[in-house]
């Protein structure tokens, strides 16, 4: 075997080796990307399952009922105050905050209880307080 034959053999197998490395790198990078894709889809599926679970929905319904109760209590307190007072303005802001939280809860509930449906329809739009809500006044 001459040095020229060795050089020819080296370069022939060199390109086969490079092609092999490229293929292995493609498989590794493709597998890594596929792992990310599958992981993100699995997280989304798990989130949907959690949000539709009985315990999550029950907790959200309880939270919605409590927030609506808080809003009604603050509305009652506001009725006893002068609209020009600072306390009235503070209660109004607090009531809007509670109402926004209630609307956010309502947007995550798949079946809103019948006694809260009317309140949600009158005051919520897309997970926050509707601009036409009486609570805005």
Q: Tell me, what's the pLDDT at 12?
A: 83
Asked whether 73 and 109 are in contact (CB, 8 A), the reply is no
Helical pair 54-79 and 114-123, crossing angle rounded to 10 deg: 60
- What's the average pLDDT block by block, 10 residues per block, for the chain (137 residues)? 84 89 95 92 92 94 97 95 95 97 96 95 96 92
Q: Tell me, what's the pLDDT at 43?
A: 93
3-class state of residue 102 by DSSP: helix
pTM of the model: 0.70
Q: Cα-flanking dihedrals φ and ψ of residue 124, to 5°?
A: -115, 150
Among 97, 104, 30, CA closest to 63:
104
Q: Tell me, what's the pLDDT at 8?
A: 84
């Amino acid at each position: 075997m001459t040095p020229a034959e060795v050089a020819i053999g080296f370069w022939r197998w060199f390109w086969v080796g490079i092609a092999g490395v490229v293929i292995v790198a493609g498989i590794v990078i493709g597998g890594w990307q596929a792992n990310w894709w599958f992981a993100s889809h699995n997280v989304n599926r798990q989130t949907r399952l959690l949000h539709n679970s009985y315990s999550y929905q029950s907790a959200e319904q309880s939270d919605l009922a409590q927030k609506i109760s808080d809003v009604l209590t603050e509305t009652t307190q506001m009725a006893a105050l002068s609209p020009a007072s600072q306390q009235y303005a503070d209660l109004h802001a607090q009531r809007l905050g509670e109402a926004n939280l209630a609307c956010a809860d309502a947007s995550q509930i798949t079946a809103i209880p019948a006694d809260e449906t009317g309140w949600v329809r009158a005051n919520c739009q897309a997970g926050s307080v509707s601009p036409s809500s009486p609570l805005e006044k």
